[in-house]
Amino acid sequence: QDNRICIWSAGDLGNAGLNGEYHGEPHLLCDVQHNGDVMDMQFLDQERIVVASSTGTVTIFRHHQNNQTLSADHQWAKAHYHVDQDTSSGGAACTGVVCSNPEIVTVGEDGRINLFRADHKDAVRTIDNADSSTLHAVTFLRTAEILTVNSIGQLKIWDLRQQRNEPSQIFSLAGDRVPLHCVDRHPNQQHIVATGGQDGMLSIWDIRQGTMPVSLLNAHEAEMWEVHFHPSDPDHLFTCSEDGSLWHWDTSTNISEKPSFLHQGGRSTAYLSHSTMNQSVVSAWLSNDPTKDRMEITNLIPNQTLSVNSLDVLGPCLVYGTDAEAIYVNRQLFA
């Protein structure tokens, strides 16, 4: 019932001992009350955090570093709502938020997409009936384009420069309409997109071609809650699930030692050495069967049983949160 936004100091990486272990406890710098469940959050800049609430409200909190306090800087009340923005109940959960300062895009259970600017009182743009089902997550594809995933297994691209309220492209999982919960795009090759859904499968899409995923990879036993490419080393991808597992997918294996055929639109390219691989348009993620010969998958928390709800990754650091009401930091991802 009582929810809070907290800023923690996980200490300075510079303090690591010679063998890499870290000295010093994480400690709470400040916290502030939050109305409703925290559905998603993202830093807008060094000081501001955008938070999505189950009440449908979107708030920007400011972290005052001089006196270590948090305060609400700006709020869009009921940015998402079912019936009518003015009724006292009626709020619809805001399920996802993504920032590209000063712009903020939010999606919700009401199938609505909002585009906000940090310094504007009202929404810059709202697509009211963007989707007839719940939108579960959103991310930027390019500056003015976003990707959304919904509860009937669709991935959609929206061009915010267009005045039309329709997606510019729709992709969908074949057959069963398995809800998609999370989406991330490859940091360098923007046509490569990863999604995860209700059935725990990892789907890799090439948005330049076709409307279906290039590959479907068996991953978790239950819902996949989050998928993230490593921002600076996108041969590595991380997924976490309701089944209590957190997987590290590594396609960086040097494939010159393991000859394999990469299918690119039906043509086979054989024996690419790793160096040409990096410059090449052929990405390990787009191979017909990336798991063959050239992907290593590791469960980073083998004995965990409670749901892993969220993760983030930067440099050698992985942070994740679980239903054990704990946050874990792994500082030696590539050790």
Query: Is residue 330 in some structural domain?
Result: yes
- Phi, psi values for residue 279, rounded to 5°: -85, -15
- The pLDDT of residue 282: 56
Query: Is residue 228 in some structural domain?
Result: yes
Query: Is residue 288 in some structural domain?
Result: yes
Token pair 């916290």 in the structure block, residue: 31
- Phi, psi values for residue 15, rounded to 5°: -85, 0
Task: Report the number of distinct structural domains present in the chain.
Answer: 1
**Domain extent for 295:** 202-211+222-252+282-334
268, pLDDT greater than 90? no
* Distance (Å, whole) CA 143 – CA 191: 14
Contact assessment for residue 223 and residue 200, using Cβ atoms and an 8 Å cutoff? yes
**What residues contact 152, with CB distance under 8 A and at least 6 apart?**
133, 172, 177, 179
pLDDT-wise least confident of 111-115, 191-195, 275-279, 321-325: 275-279
* Residue 167: closest CA among 150, 190, 188, 189: 150
Quick one: average pLDDT of 131-154?
96
Query: Is residue 296 in some structural domain?
Result: yes
90: confidence class by pLDDT, cuts 50, 70, 90: confident
Query: Is residue 179 in some structural domain?
Result: no
- The pLDDT of residue 303: 84
CB burial of 244-279 (b: ≥16 within 10 Å; e: otherwise) equals bbbbbbbbbbebeeeebebeeeeeeeeebeeeebee
Task: State which amino acid sits at residue 294.
Answer: R
**pTM of the full structure:** 0.86
**What residues contact 40, with CB distance under 8 A and at least 6 apart?**
51, 52, 94, 95, 96, 97, 137
Query: Is residue 113 in some structural domain?
Result: no
Structural tokens at position 160: 């915010």
274, pLDDT greater than 90? no
pLDDT-wise least confident of 207-221, 241-255, 274-288: 274-288
* Distance (Å, whole) CA 326 – CA 51: 19
Query: Is residue 232 in some structural domain?
Result: yes
44, pLDDT greater than 50? yes
What average pLDDT is seen over the chain?
86
Query: Is residue 326 in some structural domain?
Result: yes
184, pLDDT greater than 50? yes
pLDDT digit string, tens, across residues 225-237: 999 999 999 999 9
